[in-house]
Structure 1
Amino acid sequence: MSSKVICIVLGGGQGSRLFPLTATRSKPAVPIAGKYRLVDIPISNCINSGIERIYVLTQFNSASLNKHIKNTYHFSVFSESFVDILAAEQTPHNTTWFQGTADAVRQSLHHLAPHEFDYVLILSGDQLYQMDFCKMIDEHEAKGAEISIATIPVDEADSAGFGILKTDENQMITSFIEKPKKDMLPGWDSEVSDEMKSQGRIYLASMGIYIFNRKTLYELLEGNTRTDFGKEIIPQSIGTHKILSYQYEGYWTDIGSIPSFFDANLGLTDEIPQFNLFDKRSIFSRARMLPPSKLSGTSLHNAMISDGCIIHAAHISRSVIGIRTRIGVGTTILNTYVMGNDYYQNLEQIEEYKLQNKPLMGVGERCYINNAILDKNCYIGNDVKINGGSHLEDGDFGTYTVTEGIIVVKKNAVIQSGTII
């Protein structure tokens, strides 16, 4: 498989709907599940599928992502495998940044040219799912497709956020509609499994996962200025190219907003989570030489605790605790994603901060935190109460934001002792 396919992971735009998590980093670099980055998901799916030539296209806030890729993905010097960053670049022939998904790939074609491959797999850098791309490529070949699109059944409510398509009896796409309103949906239902029907998921949505034949991709991108796959390239290719719908019915979510990001992380703490981190298919990430986590006097319920934590909390429930997190005595954490820290404060620094009555890195003593995301390297003092919910107004409040009741404490924020949010 590795000799047939080369992969492009799209780093996305500014990620404004994930602000403030994207204030200093790109969407694919946002930490997820306490120890990974979002970009680890598509890259791991590729590696588990035997696809080991991967380009990651970036443009906004790319330093953090570049560092993660450099420190994480190393293959044998005797192999042709790689995970490389392709940052948007201005050249004498092109003075613009990436204008969209298709334009990003177009501007990167000259980097692909030296490689031998039959197919280009194009992925998004901000989705959570586990997929064997070998099966999709096998079906692409078997059906003689020029383009394949991974599709997933969605219900009426979710269809407004996706491109919805129809297929013929051979699963070839015959029509496409972008983000249809409710009154446009009659006649757009598709043949799906009985399980999907029972859930009302009868409309096929594009997942933004594409396979292109090499020749087809070059033909569609060269000599024009079309900038987007979903809005231009795919719809305008229906009827002129054989476009296959590869139907997928596993877990998949697009991490496009704070609520979806929050739900995806907390969903990992379920008794049987929809996204299974404990699968034989590994999620690869940076190998950190961290000590085991140390807990003292803490009651845990549906919690995920990452490496290197020092926890004295009273109670942690339905929460994900990221690497190197320190939590003080008597603290309660509910329905919260604590991203953790990039480094430890040493004992001398801790004593100095205590003498100056400054909050330590991590979460202090006797705190109550509910419905929140604490970004990296937060300093939460003692007796702090952070209680998210529908009673709060959305907005940006300096050290934190509120989105649909979810409080996001910003990276490196200092929350003084006794603060109530």
Structure 2
Amino acid sequence: MINDKVLAIIMGGGQGSRLYPLTATRSKPAVPIAGKYRLVDIPISNCINSDIKRMFVLTQFNSASLNTHIKNTYHFSFFSSAFVDVLAAEQTLQNNTWFQGTADAVRQSMHHFLNHDFEYALILSGDQLYQMDYNTMLEAHIASDAKISIATLPVSEKDATSFGILKTDESNLVTSFIEKPKTELLKDWTSPVSEEMEVEGRNHLASMGIYIFNKDLLVELMNDPETVDFGKEIIPQNIKKHKTLSYQFEGYWTDIGNIDSFFEANLGLTDDIPKFDLYNSSKRIYTHARLLPTTKISGTILNKAVIADGCLITAAKIERSVIGIRSRIGSGTTVSNTYMMGSDSYQTLEDLEQRDTKIPMGIGENCSINNAILDKNCCIGNNVKINGSAQLEEKETDTYFIKEGIVVVKKGAIIPDGYEI
């Protein structure tokens, strides 16, 4: 089988500063999404659904919670060669530095990869939301006799300035590459796309940061320590030296590397027909099986709400919001346009008595929460008002952070009764 010849390498990203404060105590792939999953579950699930079951996740910042999540989640048969391993940056006799970029991370970890038999390296990003069958990309790679394949997304002229743009010929072979081109250059950077994409004005091919390399070429390219990044150096320098295929993907895909895109991607799950389909059994998203009780809701008006397991809700209204595992929301409270991540555990009365504050985890009574992200284990008192809007200036305190009009309440933050943001 082709899948047996593939090794997946998932890039965990750097410090994740664009997702701060969600990355203050955890690596980017460990950030919770959709109320019950982690970002890293997306590429891992895509691999499992594609029957690719040998995966490495490369990371270097705040990797403890990611390690714990992967260790507790991805268990394969004792008789299987399948695995998901986390590789953090490590000092060796040959190297004593942090990962300097995506290519450098692969270079420093190559000795681990070479302990396994593979012909193709599938390199993935750990901070994207999409569902893809990697087999079709792999089959196209092999059929074209390419050395490198790049997954590309047809985008409009408006969006093209935010991506690395590839130009291809009629055979989908890449002929040139430009990083975040200016608008006036785009007329020369269109490529052949499907009729449907052409009708939508999506004539530019953006790199999705998903690559397939033949093993021999990847090993050769990793011998040059001066190249540290795939998107900025490896790809531009090699598309004319080695046959490079563009694999066009026309499904839903979004890079959720900043607070705004992360927020919109999560709230998008509340749409009547969401672009990201959590309910397709052939594209199942896997995560830690927590065996939580069912959610209990009393007297609450729900409209476009996604509610995870184990919640206790007596709110007045929840609208266009994602409510994470073990969330507690008190009576009289209204929650709208909000992603509440939930809690890591339930509190007992004894636990609460031992705390400095008597405000329990969750949202109290008679609160109004709008345009907000509530990180894990937040304790929000009664009569609290949080209203994010574009008029709010960017600001950071010990308990919250305002960015792009979104109020992000930090993990474990305590917001006292009557507080207003």
**Which TM bucket (shorter chain)?**
over 0.9
- Counterparts of 1:297 and 1:79 in 2: how far apart (Å)? 49
Q: Is the 8 A contact 1:358 1:416 kept in 2?
A: no
Question: Match for 2:19: what amino acid?
Answer: L
User: In structure 2, do the counterparts of structure 1 residues 351 and 103 end up closer, same or farther at CA, with 3 Å as the change threshold?
Assistant: closer
Displacement of 1:170: 1.0
SS at match of 2:270: coil
Question: Match for 1:379: what amino acid?
Answer: C
Displacement of 1:102: 0.3
Q: Is the 8 A contact 2:8 2:121 kept in 1?
A: yes
Decide which of 317, 325, 331 is 1:329's aligned counterpart: 331
- Counterparts of 1:339 and 1:168 in 2: how far apart (Å)? 45
Q: Is the 8 A contact 1:25 1:62 kept in 2?
A: yes
Displacement of 1:143: 0.5
User: In structure 2, do the counterparts of structure 1 residues 357 and 83 end up closer, same or farther at CA, with 3 Å as the change threshold?
Assistant: closer
Q: Which moved more, 1:318-327 or 1:186-195?
A: 186-195
Match of 2:397 in 1: 397
Q: Is the 8 A contact 1:54 1:82 kept in 2?
A: yes
Decide which of 295, 306, 323 is 1:304's aligned counterpart: 306
SS at match of 2:3: coil
1:166-181 equivalences under 5 Å are 166-181=167-182
Q: Is the 8 A contact 2:154 2:193 kept in 1?
A: yes
SS at match of 2:7: strand
SS at match of 1:149: strand
Displacement of 1:224: 3.6
Deviations 1:103-158 (A, max 9, x none): 00011111011211110000000000000000000000000000000000111222
Please state if 1:49 is matched with 2:50: yes
Question: Match for 2:400: what amino acid?
Answer: Y
Q: Is the 8 A contact 2:153 2:206 kept in 1?
A: yes
Q: Is the 8 A contact 2:305 2:322 kept in 1?
A: yes
Match of 2:147 in 1: 146
Match of 1:267 in 2: 268
Match of 1:363 in 2: 363
RMSD: 1.2
- Counterparts of 2:238 and 2:144 in 1: how far apart (Å)? 17
Unaligned runs of 5+ in 1: none
Displacement of 1:195: 2.6
Displacement of 1:358: 2.8
- Counterparts of 1:157 and 1:399 in 2: how far apart (Å)? 36
Please state if 1:294 is matched with 2:296: yes
SS at match of 1:226: coil
- Counterparts of 1:364 and 1:71 in 2: how far apart (Å)? 31
Unaligned runs of 5+ in 2: none
Q: When the two structures are aligned, how many residues end up with a matched partner? A: 419
Deviations 1:238-284 (A, max 9, x none): 21100000000000000110000000000000000000000112100
Question: Match for 1:190: what amino acid?
Answer: S
Deviations 1:373-413 (A, max 9, x none): 00000000000000011121112132111111110000010
Question: Match for 2:37: what amino acid?
Answer: Y
Q: Is the 8 A contact 1:358 1:381 kept in 2?
A: no
- Counterparts of 2:225 and 2:333 in 1: how far apart (Å)? 59
- Counterparts of 1:336 and 1:328 in 2: how far apart (Å)? 15
Displacement of 1:191: 1.8
Question: Match for 2:286: what amino acid?
Answer: F
Displacement of 1:92: 1.1
- Counterparts of 2:262 and 2:361 in 1: how far apart (Å)? 24
What TM-score results when the alignment is normalised by the length of structure 1?
Answer: 0.98
Deviations 1:20-59 (A, max 9, x none): 0000111100000000000000000000000000000010
Q: Is the 8 A contact 2:170 2:192 kept in 1?
A: no
Identity %, equivalent residues: 66
Displacement of 1:350: 4.6
